[in-house]
């Protein structure tokens, strides 16, 4: 602990303890501020507020660094696989070979969903957005798996965690199949996580489906890159929902709902739409001008990040993965990729973007990869949700297992009407 910081409020001097993390900036502990000085702090959007202590993920936004449990994202994406990353996020260390085999086996044995879920799906309109289906059906898991909703029972917490990591790809694939009017494809347990997901999405009963290992590896890498990102909007939503003791399925459904927004997980869908709308490199300057125009709400989708004020390290890996996928699929000239590369080049040398430190984020390239794999844009955020589920669960479990955990309850600066008396209808 560093020396406390003393602040003066009116005549009163208050010592605020300073807490140091293992890396990263110190934090001022203001927990007693209201009790001692009668004031709140004001930080809409939480730009200067640490909402929790955590040992899971570390980001240095200025340096463009992302670590899961201390391991750089580049190393995990290069050498690891998604289930190993899941184990790491959940347990704190990389698994031994035996631990990995056991973990993979347990996830794989939970991949089927309750058969009644298939009938539950029939209630949705065919044209429902797959994210709408995800929010509803993940929430509904608490109705189907009532025996793992007691958050105070460590065994039930573990079972719910495994169930969610295992079943989320199955539900996501069902959301896709339902939308395109094809029969659901059951999971196949001798396939790895990403291959199984590709097969559940793209196999049909009337034709064999052979998983392309390059695409499976690319998808696995996309899952690794999206697995966790410390206290972002959806993770904070999961923690806040969980702080009341809500069951884990309901909390993850809340996270999925938050992820859906275009400022968060919906950005990959929006980025691809924008690249298609731009269409050709010669139209880029007009879009850059729109993005810079204060009177125009348009923003370059896939650019900028609350935390990264440098190149998002995930975007670099994503760009390489995209090249691998396009070359595997024999795509020589993808106009979207050309527009993306040129847009990136122009934006990175434009003073507006340079001064505001707006770099491509993870979503800038992921949409082009997913499109090349055959996913429609409406599935992009769904794939993000599949990957992020493990991060949400790891964060939720860390919160529940913290002995000092309390319900999350922010305060406010009230600017509405002061007390006034009710006026009967006839006298208004």
**Rounded least distance, CB 149 to ligand ACO, Å:** 29
**Rounded least distance, CB 287 to ligand ACO, Å:** 10
Q: Which is nearer to ligand ACO, 34 or 46 (by Cβ)?
A: 46
Question: Does residue number 100 form part of the binding site for ligand ACO (CB under 6 A)?
Answer: no
**Rounded least distance, CB 53 to ligand ACO, Å:** 23
Task: Give the number of residues written for the chain.
Answer: 428
Sequential DSSP letters for 140-153: HHHHH-GGG--TT-
Active site residues: 305, 363
Q: Which is nearer to ligand ACO, 192 or 344 (by Cβ)?
A: 344
Q: Which is nearer to ligand ACO, 179 or 268 (by Cβ)?
A: 268
The span from the CA of 142 to the CA of 250, in Å, is: 7
From 263, 286, 289, 354, residue interacting with ligand ACO (rule: CB under 6 A): 263
* Inter-helix orientation angle 248-259/130-144, to 10°: 170
Handedness of CA 315, 319, 320, 326 (dihedral sign): positive
The span from the CA of 274 to the CA of 292, in Å, is: 15
For ligand ACO, how many residues bind (rule: CB under 6 A)?
A: 18
Question: Does residue number 375 form part of the binding site for ligand ACO (CB under 6 A)?
Answer: no
Q: Which is nearer to ligand ACO, 77 or 291 (by Cβ)?
A: 291
**Rounded least distance, CB 364 to ligand ACO, Å:** 7
Question: Does residue number 361 form part of the binding site for ligand ACO (CB under 6 A)?
Answer: yes
Taking residues 293 to 332 in sequence order and writing x for each that binds ligand ACO by CB under 6 A, - otherwise, the string is ------xxxxxxxx--------------------------
Sequential DSSP letters for 272-334: HHHHHHH-SGGGHHHHHHHHH-TT-----TTB--SS-SS--HHHHHHHHHHHHHHHHTT-S--
Q: Which is nearer to ligand ACO, 284 or 291 (by Cβ)?
A: 291
| 57-60 vs 27-28, strand pairing mode | unpaired
CB atoms within 10 A of CB 112: 13
The span from the CA of 132 to the CA of 6, in Å, is: 49
**Rounded least distance, CB 28 to ligand ACO, Å:** 21
| Cβ–Cβ < 8 Å for 26, 2 | yes
User: Which region among 23-31, 107-115, 259-267, 417-425 touches ligand ACO (by CB under 6 A)?
Assistant: 259-267
Upper half-sphere CA count for residue 107 (Cβ side, 13 Å): 26
Residue 126 is given by DSSP the state: T
From 89, 362, 386, 394, residue interacting with ligand ACO (rule: CB under 6 A): 362
Q: Which residue is nearest to ligand ACO (CB)?
A: 304
| Cβ–Cβ < 8 Å for 278, 304 | no
Question: Does residue number 290 form part of the binding site for ligand ACO (CB under 6 A)?
Answer: no
Distance of CA 63 to the CA centre of its chain: 21
**Rounded least distance, CB 367 to ligand ACO, Å:** 11
| Cβ–Cβ < 8 Å for 192, 200 | no
Question: Does residue number 138 form part of the binding site for ligand ACO (CB under 6 A)?
Answer: no
The span from the CA of 419 to the CA of 428, in Å, is: 17
Binding site for ligand ACO (CB under 6 A): 263-265, 267, 291, 299-306, 356, 358, 361-363
């Amino acid at each position: 602990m560093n020396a406390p910081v003393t602040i003066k409020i009116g005549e009163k001097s208050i010592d605020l303890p300073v807490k140091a993390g293992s890396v990263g900036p110190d934090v001022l502990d203001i927990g007693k501020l209201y009790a001692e000085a009668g004031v709140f702090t004001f930080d809409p959007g939480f730009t200067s507020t640490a909402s929790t202590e955590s040992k899971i993920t570390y980001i240095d936004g200025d340096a463009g660094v992302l670590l899961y449990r201390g391991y750089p994202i580049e190393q995990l994406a290069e050498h690891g696989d998604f289930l190993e990353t899941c184990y790491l996020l959940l347990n704190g260390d990389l698994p031994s070979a035996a631990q990995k085999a056991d973990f993979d086996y347990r996830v794989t044995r939970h991949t089927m969903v309750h058969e009644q879920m298939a009938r539950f799906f029939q209630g949705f309109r065919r044209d429902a957005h797959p994210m709408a289906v995800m929010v509803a059906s993940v929430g509904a898991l608490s109705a189907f798996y009532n025996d793992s909703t007691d958050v105070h029972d460590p065994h039930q917490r573990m079972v719910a965690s495994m169930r969610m990591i295992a079943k989320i790809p199955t539900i996501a694939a069902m959301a896709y199949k339902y939308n395109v009017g094809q029969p659901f494809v059951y999971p196949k347990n001798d396939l790895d996580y990403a291959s199984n997901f590709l097969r559940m999405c793209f196999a049909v009963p009337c034709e064999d489906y052979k998983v392309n290992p390059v695409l499976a590896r690319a998808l696995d890498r996309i899952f690794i890159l999206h697995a966790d990102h410390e206290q972002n909007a959806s993770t904070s939503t999961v923690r806040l929902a969980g702080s009341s003791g809500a069951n884990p399925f309901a909390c993850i459904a809340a996270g999925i709902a938050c992820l859906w927004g275009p400022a968060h997980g919906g950005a990959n869908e929006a980025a691809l739409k924008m690249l298609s709308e731009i269409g050709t490199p010669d139209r880029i300057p007009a879009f850059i001008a729109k993005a810079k125009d204060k009177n125009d709400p348009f923003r370059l989708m896939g650019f900028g990040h609350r935390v990264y004020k440098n190149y998002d390290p995930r975007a670099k890996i994503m760009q390489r993965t995209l090249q691998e996928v396009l070359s595997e699929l024999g795509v020589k000239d993808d106009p979207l990729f050309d527009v993306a590369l040129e847009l990136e080049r122009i934006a990175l040398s434009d003073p507006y973007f340079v001064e505001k430190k707006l770099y491509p984020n993870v979503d800038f390239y992921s949409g082009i990869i997913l499109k090349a794999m055959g996913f429609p844009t409406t599935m992009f955020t769904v794939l993000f949700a599949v990957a992020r589920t493990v991060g949400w669960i790891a964060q939720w479990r860390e919160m529940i297992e913290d002995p000092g955990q309390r319900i999350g309850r922010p305060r406010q600066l009230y600017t509405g009407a002061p007390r006034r008396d009710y006026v009967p209808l006839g006298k208004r």
